[in-house]
Amino acid sequence: MTIFNSIEQVKLFLGKLLNDTQNEDLLDSISKELDNITTFAQQLTAEASPKSDPSKPEIKSGCYIFADEKGFFCPNCYDRTGNKISTKRLNSQLRICPACRASIK
């Protein structure tokens, strides 16, 4: 159940509970507040949705690749120090980092 479903359930419950005209103002006030909460929750959901970060690396063949650069980079060096160290191919199945000497399959 999402927050939006919960808000709709509260609206239905209040509508049944406050049926007489004496409580119409209260129902309208609560309904407006729930609408505000719904709008705010939709904005938070839109802000929290994953966006592609151009500086965030993708993993391919055990190495990091970046959208703005060519090559395969050592994940160990990037995770530890933030340095983009280009890996070297040792054979068809193995790459090696010249800085930390990590073997990457």
pLDDT digits (tens, 9 = 90+) for 71-87: 999 999 999 998 999 99
Distance CA 17, CA 104 (A): 64
Whether the pTM exceeds 0.95: the reply is no
All residues at 6 or more sequence positions from 34 whose CB lies less than 8 Å from its CB, including other chains: 7, 10, 11
In tens, the pLDDT along 24-71 reads 777 777 778 888 888 888 888 777 665 555 567 899 989 999 988 899
Which structure tokens are listed for 5? 């479903």
* Residues 11-44 as b or e (16 or more Cβ within 10 Å = b): beebeeebeeeeeeeebeebeeebeeeeeeeeee
